[in-house]
Amino acid sequence: GHYGRGCVSSSRERERERERAAMQRTDVEWIEHYGGCHCGKVSYTFRAPQSVLVVDCDCSVCSMTGFKHVIIGKDAFHLQEGSEEFITEYLFGTRTARHVFRRVCGVKSFYYPRSHPDGISVNLNCVDRARSGLEVAEVQPFNGRNWEQNAASIQQPPSAAVGGEGSSSSL
């Protein structure tokens, strides 16, 4: 009955916590990754472990754009010189998240998330994974269609999910 389902859920949560704790090790090697828009006018580098947590949000914007979140600290992100002039910003709802994209090719390769004001969300789909060997350690589904009710589940600091140095996390 209900008791059994609770145990399974609790067991899964404990397992997830163990996995996350393992990913928090400070001995994780940080490497440089590369990303950008389709036409190449917006490009960036970021430092993160080779293996990262990816959040798959089903909110209207993420669903429509195919955005897969890799959250890093702002200090681990470097927008290449000259890229800023090609970026347009889109705000909606609370106008807190800064959704930025390339004006011409239209690709949203990163943005400034509401859930992590000190972080950057890099779009996994815009990372040159072959160049740096970026791997996905875990994909965490997030119910973004009910963002307000679920935000607390992802509002850990950017360093909480995959290491220390301005690390990867979720939305």
Report how far residue 80's alpha carbon sits from residue 1's, in angstroms, rounded to the nearest whole number.
56
Residues 6+ apart with CB under 8 A from 13: none
Q: Which residue has the tokens 């472990």?
A: 49
> Rounded to an integer, what distance in angstroms lies between the CA atom of residue 116 and that of residue 37?
22
Distance CA 131, CA 7 (A): 42
Record the pTM: 0.73
Per-residue pLDDT 10s for the chain (171 aa) are 333 334 444 545 654 554 455 445 556 789 999 999 999 999 999 999 999 999 999 988 889 989 999 999 999 999 999 898 888 887 677 776 777 888 899 899 998 888 888 899 999 999 999 999 999 999 999 888 887 777 777 765 443 344 344 434 334
